[in-house]
Structure 1
Amino acid sequence: MRLPLVSLFAALSLGLASAVQAAPDTPTPQVEAWPLQQTGAIGASIFFQDRAAWRATDVLLAHLGGATDHGLIGWIVVEQGDAQLVRFVRGDPAAPRPGYDILVDKTGRPGPAVKSKDVVLPDDQIARYLARATALANIGALRCTASFNPVVLDDPDGDGWLVWLLAATNDVDVVPMGGHYRFHLTADGRTVEKREQLSSGCLNMDRRKAGQSGQPAALFTTVLVASQPLEVHVFLSLLNRLPIYVGAGDKIWSVEGAAIREIDASKER
């Protein structure tokens, strides 16, 4: 598991008040859930973007000799076919400019860090950056971790953005099962339309215990905010390379990467 990325750019959480608007005060108790196949695909997209960001960050730190460039204020990830372009940006948080670009291929292998040849970011990339900044500026009451890793995707149900703030950890053996957020934002990235708390509380699980007692290596959790597994369970399964069994409603589900299936208890005996 990777270290939290936000801590590398302390300026990311500063100077954003003028760029964003306040979010609603209370998270939605029951969260939106997509059909299982779509949930799996969205969870996989979150994983691929998150993986690209932290691997590109490793490359950038090596390029900079291990020291952060204090002109950098964060990053965005832009899909380019099967690859993902990680763009580290600099300047004013309200009007970010290109800094360094790193292309990460579909296997997760990053290329070299190169200084961007662009002078300005396209409008949609500025909006993408502002969407993640807006979410970070409007974090909810549930604080299970000191750091969050943001992921930004197009909203499949509208013209705005979805931003996930994923609870991060410095411990490679800890799986933060709780404390994740999902935000729905406007197309300009400046306004939160809905903030969803994807768990009812904090839950850190020890992945070293997943294979004890002679049982198949897996983790088990319950969900109270939805009647099925969510995209964060897909993300965590892919990140930790472990199946996750999810109790939701009166059913048990198996999440193995992007594949989600309901378990028929009568056939599992």
Structure 2
Amino acid sequence: MNRRMMMLALLAWACTAAPAVSAASPPVDDAATAQALAQAETRGREMFEHDLAAERATDALLKKRMRGDSRVRGWITEPKDNRYEVSMIGEGAVVLYRATTDARGILAGATEALAVPAAPTAYQAGAAAARTLAMQSRIDACAKRYNSVVLPAPGATTDAWTVYLLPATTDPAAVPLGGSYRFDIAEGRITSQRAFTRSCIQLKRAPRNAAMIVTHMLDPTPTEVHVFWSLWARSPLYVTTGEDVIWKIEDGRIHRVQD
């Protein structure tokens, strides 16, 4: 057994048998590495909070107002005053329902059903168009159904968006990391897109005091998708990215595991 395989075997044992593996802040080899880690943490948390807001708002609206409404085509999440406004939209991105949550997904105030659909704001129209463009693109799907997270592109001052397509699952034990995609969209066209895995890898939620583990060879450091799925699963995630290079993601923070 070579050193890499031995490390992975020992780490896999530690993830299932021990309460934790010692981790520390990564040695900052260069500014690019530090920036990549910071961006992954920030973007991964944003993805999680937007997705959680959409989930909780949808659940609340289905219980009281929205069930059976065939007009609904999707949703738009927008940060407002440290909260998230979730708008359920129909054809033409008109707003049919609204709900607001905080960053923890807790409903803030009552849900709202609009007697007269409201015309979309510039933000809602732009986000809805970007979402539609990504959803209609060809991908190697790993699930029958996909959820989407639409965020303004970092530092964007014009109509620029980042859309994440994330596999959905009804299995409470599954973490469908494989098949996650990102689309960068500007001025109504896709400027770049990427897959975060080469296969439909599916992790299992770790039991208490344990962690998940995955090998990732497409990037030198963990990505925002790894941060998102760790937060979504409410489980630490170990990511190996190279020979003897192992990272730990916990509570949305990335640390390099030290020898």
Question: Normalization by structure 1: what TM-score?
Answer: 0.77
Pairing of 1:1-269 with structure 2 (within 5 A): 35-64=36-65, 67-90=67-90, 92=91, 95-110=92-107, 111-116=109-114, 119-140=118-139, 142-158=140-156, 159=158, 160-187=160-187, 190-207=188-205, 210-211=206-207, 216-250=209-243, 251-264=245-258, 266=259
Q: Which amino acid aligns with 2:96?
A: G
Q: Residue deviations 1:225-246, cap 9 Å, x none?
A: 1111111111111111110000
Q: Distance in 2 between matches of 1:38 and 1:115?
A: 36
**How many percent identity over aligned positions?**
32
Contact 1:235 1:257 (8 Å CA) reproduced:
no
Question: Normalization by structure 2: what TM-score?
Answer: 0.80
Q: Residue deviations 1:47-66, cap 9 Å, x none?
A: 0000000110111111137x
Shift of 1:157: 4.9
Q: Distance in 1 between matches of 2:35 and 2:72?
A: 35
- Computed over aligned residues only, the root mean square deviation of the Cα atoms, in angstroms, reads 1.8
Q: Distance in 2 between matches of 1:120 and 1:211?
A: 46
Shift of 1:249: 2.2
Unaligned 5+ runs, structure 2: 1-33
Q: Distance in 2 between matches of 1:257 and 1:136?
A: 29
Shift of 1:96: 1.6
Q: Which amino acid aligns with 2:225?
A: V
Q: Residue deviations 1:196-252, cap 9 Å, x none?
A: 111111111222xx349xxx4100001121111111111111111110000112311
Q: Distance in 2 between matches of 1:118 and 1:78?
A: 18
In the other structure, the counterpart of 1:10 is: none
Q: Distance in 1 between matches of 2:79 and 2:177?
A: 27
Q: Residue deviations 1:95-123, cap 9 Å, x none?
A: 22111110112331123221247731112
Query: SS state of the match for residue 108, structure 1?
Result: coil
The structure having more radius of gyration, on CA atoms, is 2
Contact 2:36 2:221 (8 Å CA) reproduced:
no
Q: Which amino acid aligns with 1:102?
A: A
Q: Which amino acid aligns with 2:36?
A: P
Misfit runs of 4+, over 3 Å: none
Distance 1:139 1:112, change over 3 A: farther
Number of positions where the alignment pairs a residue of Structure 1 with one of Structure 2 = 221
Contact 1:82 1:105 (8 Å CA) reproduced:
yes
